Structure 1
C-alpha cells in the first residue's frame, strides 16, 4: 500500500520533469525541480529514492500513460462519457492539431475529466469539414474563418464558438530561382493550392483580388500539401504555391528552397482555423462544447511546455506519423538537402523525429501568443476581439466569398468562452 502511495506521489510531481528527447525520455529526466516544488514530498520519500522510483517505474511514455490510466480508473466517475465527433479539415494525419488538441488531452486525461469520448473525422478541407458538421456527421469542426463566413453567408446554420488559431498561416511561395518577386507577377502563372475545398484556395483568390488579377488570368492547380506540393514545384508543374505554414516547413525539409512573397497588409488581422458548430448544438449541448474546448486548450498549454513529451503521445496515438511505409514509386522527384536530385516518398520526411517535432511546433505557433513562453500570462488568448472578427467579415466580402457584409454576431458567439477558461494554467499539469 505504501509503495502504491509513493508511486502516486511520483506521478503527481512528475509535472516538473523535462525530457530532453523522445528516445531518451527517462535517461534525461531532471527530477530535482519536481521534488522541490512541494515540501510535503520530503516527508514521505528522499530525493534519491524519488529519483530511483521514477526511473524504475517510468521507462517510457507508455508506462506514463498506464499510470495515468490506472490513477484515473481508481477514481470512479458517476457520469457516463459523452461521445463527440470532431471533423478536421484535412484528409491525412499530420503532427498538428490532432496532437495538441486530441492526443495530448486523451493521454493526460483531460477529456476524461470532462466525461467526453471524442473521435476524429478526416475531411478534404474546410468546406468538407463544415459539410460533415451540417450533415450531422460531426459535432465540432476545425475550419478556416473564411470558409465559415462563406457558409454562413449561404444560410448554413453554423456559428464559430471558440478560437483555435491567432494567426493567418497561409502565404504564397515560389522556388528560390523564380523570376516571380511579388504577388503582382502572378498573372498568367500556374498556382498550386491544397485543394479547391481548402482555405488556401480562398487565400489565393483574396490575394489575386488585392493585386487586381482576375482568377481567369491564372491557372489554379490542386496539388495537396507537403511532399506532393514540393514535387509539383520542383517539376515546374506550378510556378507558385499557396499553402499553410507547416506544409511549407515539410516542403523545405525535403530540400526545396523557397522565396515567400510579401503578403497584403490587410491579412495581418486575419486568423484561420476556428472551432465551429451547428447552432442547435450550441443551444442544446453547451457543456459538451465547453468540456471539449477546455481539454483542447489544456493540451495546447501542455504541448507548449513539454513539446517532446507531447510528441511522444502523438506518435503513440498516430503511429503512422513515424512508421508509415512509403509506396514503391519513383515519380516524385524532390531535392536532397545538398541540392542533388533524388527520389523521395511522400512520407519520408515524417520518419525523422526532429522534422516531426519541428512541424508540430510550427503548427502550434499558429495557436499561441507570439514570443510568450509562459502560459500563465496568456490570459484568454483564443477569445479573439471583435475587431479581428470584423476583419474576417470585411475580407470575406472584399474577396467575393460572401455576397453581403456580415456582422461579427453573424459569425462569432463567444458566450461559452468564460466557462471554457475556468481552469488555472499554473496547476494544469495536476488536473
Structure 2
C-alpha cells in the first residue's frame, strides 16, 4: 500500500524518534566500575579521584565510577583479588606478599606515590625518641587491615626489635576516636599516613614524628591495582580509569582550592571543622598538596603513573630482607608499564587551563 505524504512523514518521525532513543540509551549505558580507596573516609588527599568523578573525566571515558572507602590497603587488595571491585588503590606491602605467595591474583598498573607516606608519631613529651624506644609499646592504627601495620613492623625490625614480640597494635580509627586514644594514652603512639597526621594537628593534637631510616621513607607506596585477568579482559577500562585519574591530578595541581572544595562537596564529612573559612581552606590545601607532592617524581619525566623499576626492586628486596617473604617475585608479576603511554594520551594543557578557569563562586 502506497503511503501518503503525511504517512511518510509520520514514519520518518517515528524512525528518528527510535534512533534518538537508541542514542540516548547508548549515552546512558556507562560501564560500572568500583574503585576502592584505602581509607575509612575519603578526603582532600584523594582529590584526583573525586575531581575525576565530579568533573566528568570518568564518564568521558565511558565509565560510571563508584568510589568506595575501605579499611586500608590490605583490604583493598584482598577485595580486588576476590573480584569485589575492578580497581583498587593500595600500598604495596601486603599486596606484594600476596602476589609472591600466589594468594592474590592482582597486579599494579599505574603508580601514584613515589615515596612512603607512613610514620610513627608520638606526643611531644613522650619518652620515645627513636624506633628502638618502641620496645613493649602499643601503636594505634586506623585498622588492622591498614598498611601502616606492615610499615610499623618494618620500622621496628630495622631498629633491631622483633615485630612479633616487641610491639603491639590497637585499631583506633581516625578523627575523634584517634585523638581520644592518644590523649588518654591508650596507645603510646600512632603509625599513620601524612594526611591523617595533618588532620590530627588541625584538630589540636600535635604529634612528633619518630625518625625513620631514609631508605624506608623513600620506598614507593600506593598505586592502582587490578586482577591479573582484567589486564587481558578489559585493558580499555584500565586505561580509561587511570587516564581520568591523571586528569584529576593535573586539575588538583593547577587549582588546589577548587580540588579541595569539590572534595568537600562530594564528601561533606571531610570538610575542615575550623569555623574560619579562610583557615579551613588553607588546612584543606595543606593536606591536599602535601599528599600530591609525592604523586610525582623527577625520575618519571612527563609520564604520570610510570613505575620506576629500580625503586620497586628495592622495595621487593626490602620486604625479603624483613622476612616478609622468602624470595622476591619477578617485577613483571608485580606491575606493568604497558598502559602508561596510552594513559598519558590526553590534552594535559587543556585540563590545566580549565582548572584555572573554574568558577570558584559556585563551589563555595
Return the offset for 1:362.
2.2
Residue 378 of structure 1 and its aligned partner are, at CA, apart by 4.9
2:149 match: 201
- 2:339 matches 1:416: yes
Specify the alignment match of 1:30 in structure 2.
Answer: none
Distance 1:226 1:378 in 2: 37
Q: Which moved more, 1:245-254 or 1:401-410?
A: 401-410
| Long gaps (5+) in structure 1 | 1-74, 323-346
Please point out which of 165, 176, 180 is paired with 1:231. Answer: 180
CA shift for structure 1 position 349 = 5.8
Per the alignment, residue 105 of structure 2 pairs with: 157
1:105 aligns with 2:52: yes
For residue 134 of structure 1, the aligned residue among 65, 81, 102 is 81
**Structure-1-length-normalised TM-score:** 0.70
The structure-2 alpha-carbon separation of the partners of 1:195 and 1:399, relative to structure 1 and needing over 3 Å to count, comes to: farther
Q: Shift of residue 404 of structure 1?
A: 2.1
Look up the match of 2:256: 307
Match of 2:308 in 1: 385
**Tell me, what secondary structure is at the counterpart of 2:74?**
helix
Displacement after TM superposition at 1:178 (Å): 1.3
Q: Distance in 2 between matches of 1:96 and 1:145?
A: 18
Deviations 1:313-346 (A, max 9, x none): 2222223333xxxxxxxxxxxxxxxxxxxxxxxx
CA apart distance, 1:348: 4.2
The 5-angstrom pairing of residues 58-77 of structure 1 reads none
Instruction: Tell me, yes or no, if the aligned pair for 2:257 and 2:281 is still in contact at 8 Å.
Output: no
How far is the alpha carbon of 1:226 from its aligned partner?
3.7
TM-score (norm 2): 0.83
| 1:285 equivalent in alignment to 2:285 | no
Alignment of 1:30-429 (within 5 A): 80-97=29-46, 99-101=47-49, 103-155=50-102, 156-215=104-163, 216-322=165-271, 348=273, 352-369=280-297, 378-429=301-352
Per mean C-alpha deviation after superposition, the further-off stretch among 406-415 and 265-274 is 265-274
C-alpha contact (below 8 Å) 2:43/2:263 kept by paired residues: no
Bigger CA drift: 254-263 or 149-158? 254-263
Which secondary structure does the structure 2 equivalent of 1:178 belong to? coil
Equivalent residue for 1:331? none
Pairwise CA distance, 1:176: 0.8
Instruction: Determine which structure has greater relative contact order: mean sequence separation of CA pairs < 8 Å that are 6+ residues apart, divided by chain length.
Output: 2
1:85 shift after superposition? 0.7
Give the deviation of 1:231 after TM superposition. 2.2
Q: Structure 2: how far apart are the matches of 1:417 and 1:146? A: 22
Q: Equivalents in 1 of 2:38, 2:100: separation in Å?
A: 20
Structure 1 counterpart SS, 2:41: coil
**Residues 117-176 of structure 1, C-alpha deviation per residue, up to 9 Å, x if partnerless?**
111222211121122212221000111111220220231211111111111100111111
Counterpart-to-counterpart distance in 2, 1:207 and 1:366: 20
CA pair 115-429 structure 1, distance change in 2 beyond 3 A: farther
Contact 1:81/1:116 (<8 A) preserved = yes
In structure 1, what is the Cα distance between the partners aligned to 2:78 and 2:324?
17
Whether the aligned pair in 1 keeps the contact of 2:43 and 2:264 (CA below 8 Å) is no
How many pairs align? Answer: 326
Q: Distance in 1 between matches of 2:123 and 2:200?
A: 11
- Superposed CA RMSD: 2.5
Match of 1:36 in 2: none
Superposed displacement of residue 428, structure 1 = 2.4
The 3 A distance-change label for structure 1 pair 255 and 316 is closer
SS at match of 1:166: coil
C-alpha separation in 1, matches of 2:353 and 2:209: 42
In 2 relative to 1, CA 283–209 (structure 1 residues): closer, same or farther, beyond 3 Å?
same
Structure 2 residue matching 1:96: 3-state secondary structure: helix
SS at match of 2:155: helix
* 8 Å CA contact retained: 2:36, 2:67: yes
Deviations 1:44-70 (A, max 9, x none): xxxxxxxxxxxxxxxxxxxxxxxxxxx
Give the Cα separation in 2 of the matches to 1:120 and 1:254: 26
